[in-house]
Amino acid sequence: MLCYTRGPPPMKTPAPTLAALAATALLALSASTPITAQQYDYPDPFPGGYPNLSGSSGAGRMYMESYFPPPVTASPTYPAWSPDGESIAFAYQGRIWVVPVEGGTARQVTSGPGYHSQPSWSPDGTHIAYAADIDRNFDIFVVEVGAGASGATAKPRRLTTHTFLDLRPRWSPDGGRILFTTERDGTFDLWAYDMERGEAEAVIADPQANDMAGDWVGSTGDIVFVSRRGQAALGSGSLWRWRSGTGEAELLLRIETNYQAAPVVAPHGGIVSYITDSSGNNDIYAVPSERSPRGIQPVRLTHTRTDEYFPSWSPDGGHIVYARNGGTDDQPRTIDSGMGFGLYIVTRGGGAPRPVRIDDYAWSEPTGQVRVRVADSVGELLPSRIYLTGADGRAYFPDTSYPRVVSVTEDYYFHSDGSFTATLPVGEASLEAWRGFEYEPVSRTVDVRAGEHTVVEVQLDRWIDMAADGWYSGDNHIHPNYGGHYFVTPDDLRNKAHAEDLNVANGMIANYWGNSRVEDLEHFLGHPHPHGGPRTIVYYNEEYRPSFFAHLSLLNLVELITPFYIGSVGTAHHALYPDNANVLRRVHEQGGIGGYVHPFGLQHRDLDAAGVGYARELPVDAILGLADFVDVACIWSDELGTAEVWYRLLNTGSRIAGTAGTDVMSDIWRHPAVGATRTYVYTGEDHLHYDAWADAMAAGRAFVTSGPIMTLE
C-alpha cells in the first residue's frame, strides 16, 4: 500500500506533531507485524498565548488563559463609570472608549499596539488606567482622557514592564496608587503602583494562595479580593478582605467561582458587588464589605436568563453599570444571534435594567469598511472561518461577532455565515478565508480607503470530497459551554461545525473545572439534534471526568451516566467510584461506545518513568476490550507520547481505535475552532448516519489528522 498526502494543509500554522499522526494512524492499524516503540524528542510543553503564565492556580495554564485575562470583543465590555457620573468608559475592538451615560456617540480614547481592556478612572476623572495585551503579555498603562488634538488619542504612559501578566488596574480613592493583579512571583498576588515614586510593590502576596481581582474599600486602605486560601480546588476562590492596619486577610464570603467573580466595592466602601453563577447563569450579587457575627447574606441584583459581567458603581453608589450577553431579559445571547454584548444600568436595589445607548463609534484614525462575501463555485454563500488583519497589524471583527484566538499561534479569527461587514483603519489589510480540511484556503489583500466601502468577493473551492467516497469527519470532544462569556446553543454548534465543514460534532455534557455546575444538561436528547443537516450531525453526549482514572468520552448515549465526576475533594463525589471500567460497561449496555481523551499531558516526556500515568486505567480497559478508542490527537495532550502508548497497546493484540478530539470550549474566546483535530471514519455510505459512523470508528475504520488528508491506494 502507498500512503500519501495530497492538497494543502488546511489548518493555519498546524501543530507539527499532529500532521504526522494521519500517517501513523493508518500504518499502525494496517500493520501485519508488531510495531516497535520508537524514541522521540518530545516537544516543549504546550506554548500558550502567554508563555510566562505558570498556571500555578492548580487549574493549569490552559484554564488560566481561558478565564482570567480579558477577551477581545466586538461589542462593549468592561464598563467603568466616570467620577463625575457623566460618562462610561468601556472596551471594544481592543480599544478603550468613552460614551455619555445617557447615550450617544462613543469616542476612542486609546490607540497604538496591542489590545486594551479593563479601564479604571482616576479619582479626578482626567486619566484612565487600563491593561494592554502587547506581544503576549499584559502590562498596565495610563492615558489622559481628551488630551489629543482634533480627535486624536493621547500618548499613554506605561507603568509596568514585567514579563509576567499585570491585569485589572484599580485606582485608589486618593489617586496615589493603582492596584493590580500580577503573577510575577509565581503565584497571583496583588501589587500597587505608586504614582509619585513611579514603582510597584507587593501588597498582598501569599505564596500558598492565589490572590487576585482586588478592589479598594473606600478610603480605609483595605482591599476586597478573590483567593483560594484554605479552600479545596473549587474554582478561583472566595471573597476575602485584607486589613491594611494588620496585614491580615479575613474571609468575607465563601463561594464557588470561576475567575468571573470580579468584586467591585461601592464608593462609600460599604457594599461589594460580584458575579456568581449560583443561580444557573452569571448574575450580579451584592454583600456588605464587613462580615457580621451572624454572617452575611448575598442579595441578587439581576434576574435574567442572560449572563451579566464586569459591574462598576456610579460615583454616588446608587447604580451599577455592567455588560450582559443578551438582547432581552429572557433571551440569552448566543454566538450566532447577532446581539453581542450590551451595557446596562441597574439600581443598587436591583429592578429593571436600562440599556446604555451607543449610536456610533468615533474612531481616532481614518477608517473605511470592507464588505465581504464568501461563496462556493456556484455562488452560494459559504460559512467559513475568517482572519481579518488591519494595516496596523491588529485583528478586526464585524460588530457583535464572536472574536476568538488560537493560543498556540496567536491567530485571531471569527466564523461567518458567508457575508459580513467590518470597520478597519485605512491602508492595506489582509483577509484569509478557511473552511475545514477539504477546501483550499484563500488570501486577499484589501485596500481600505477612508470613508469608503470596499467590496471583496471570495470563492472557496473543494480540493477533495471525502464524504463522496464514504469518509465522514468528526470531533469527539467539544464542550459547547464551559463557563465562558457566551452561551452556545445546539444551533450555534451546528453552525460552527458547518463553517468548519465538520460532519459530526460530539458535544460533551460535563462539569467544568473545579465547579459542580454541569453544563448543557438541557440539550441532551439521547439522539442527534433535530436541527442538523444532511452532512452535519450534532449529538450531545458526555465526558465522564474522574480525577484519578482519566477522562472518558461517552458517545451514542441514550441515557446519561451519573455521577458526572468523582474524586473532587470537598464534594459529595470525593470517592473514586465508579471506576472507568464500570462506566464503560454501562455505556456498552445501552449501545454506546466510550474511549479515553487527552490521555497524557505534555509534561509526560518519559513514559517509562515512575509517576507517569494520567490515563492510569487505559491499559487495563484496552486489554479488557472495554475502551473502544483513545484520542491520539488532542491539542492539550502529548500526541507523540500518546501514540507511543497506543502502539504498545496494539502490540498486545488490542484493537483499540486511534481517534481525535479537540477538547475545545466553544464559549471561551481563547480556543481553537471545532474540528481542529478530527477523525475521518469510513462508513462506505452515501448518507451520513450517526450509528454507522460511531460503529465504524469503534471498529478502527478511521484515521486522525489536524490537516493533511491521506488515502491508501
Confidence of residue 24 (pLDDT cuts 50, 70, 90): very low
Task: Tell me the three cell numbers of residue 430.
Answer: 489582509
Lowest mean pLDDT among 27-36, 175-184, 188-197, 693-702: 27-36
Is a pLDDT exceeding 80 seen at residue 26?
Answer: no
Of 365, 496, 372, nearest to 443 by C-alpha is 372
Domain covering 73-361 in this structure, CATH number: 2.120.10.30
Is a pLDDT exceeding 50 seen at residue 514?
Answer: yes
Residue extents of the structural domains in the chain: 73-361, 366-459, 471-712
Angle at 544 between CA 541 and CA 549, to 5 degrees: 150
User: What is the rounded distance in angstroms from the CA atom of residue 344 to the CA atom of residue 256?
Assistant: 25
Which range in 478-492, 577-591, 626-640 is most confidently predicted, on average pLDDT? 577-591
Q: Which CATH class is domain 366-459?
A: mainly beta
Strands (E), 336-452: 342-347, 350-355, 358-362, 367-375, 384-389, 404-406, 411-416, 419-425, 427-434, 442-448
518 membership: H or E segment, kind and range: strand 518-519
| Block residue for cell numbers 462556493 | 376
Residue 495 has φ and ψ, to the nearest 5°, of -65, -40
AA identity, residue 337: S
pLDDT at 232: 56
User: What is the rounded distance in angstroms from the CA atom of residue 483 to the CA atom of residue 471?
Assistant: 34
- Whether 231 and 57 have beta carbons less than 8 Å apart is answered as no
Question: Which string of b and e fits 76-88 if b means at least 16 CB within 10 Å?
Answer: bbbbbbbbeeebb
Tell me what percent of the residues of the chain surpass a pLDDT of 90.
68
pLDDT at 554: 99
SS3 labels along 198-237: CEEEEEECCCCCCEEEEEECCCCCCEEEEECCCCCCCECC
Strand 138-144 to 127-133 pairing: antiparallel
Average of per-residue pLDDT values in the chain: 87
Task: Tell me the three cell numbers of residue 595.
Answer: 474511549
User: What is the rounded distance in angstroms from the CA atom of residue 655 to the CA atom of residue 634?
Assistant: 20
45: CB partners within 8 A, 6+ apart? 602, 603
| Block residue for cell numbers 454563500 | 381
Of 312, 213, 297, nearest to 267 by C-alpha is 312
Is a pLDDT exceeding 80 seen at residue 148?
Answer: no
3-class DSSP state for residue 290?
A: coil
516-569 pLDDT per residue, tens: 678 899 999 999 999 887 889 999 999 999 978 999 999 999 999 999 988 877
Q: Please give the residue that has the higher pLDDT: either 124 or 641.
A: 124
- Whether 442 and 711 have beta carbons less than 8 Å apart is answered as no
Task: Tell me the three cell numbers of residue 688.
Answer: 451520513
pLDDT at 711: 66
User: What is the rounded distance in angstroms from the CA atom of residue 655 to the CA atom of residue 29?
Assistant: 8
Residue 469: DSSP 8-state: G
pLDDT at 639: 86
pLDDT at 603: 56
State pTM to two decimals.
0.91
Query: Side by side, which strands form the sheet with 411-416?
Result: 404-406, 411-416, 384-389, 427-434, 442-448
35-88 pLDDT per residue, tens: 223 333 334 455 567 766 665 444 466 777 888 899 999 999 999 999 999 999
Architecture of domain 471-712: Alpha-Beta Barrel (3.20)
Of 164, 322, 130, 291, nearest to 224 by C-alpha is 291
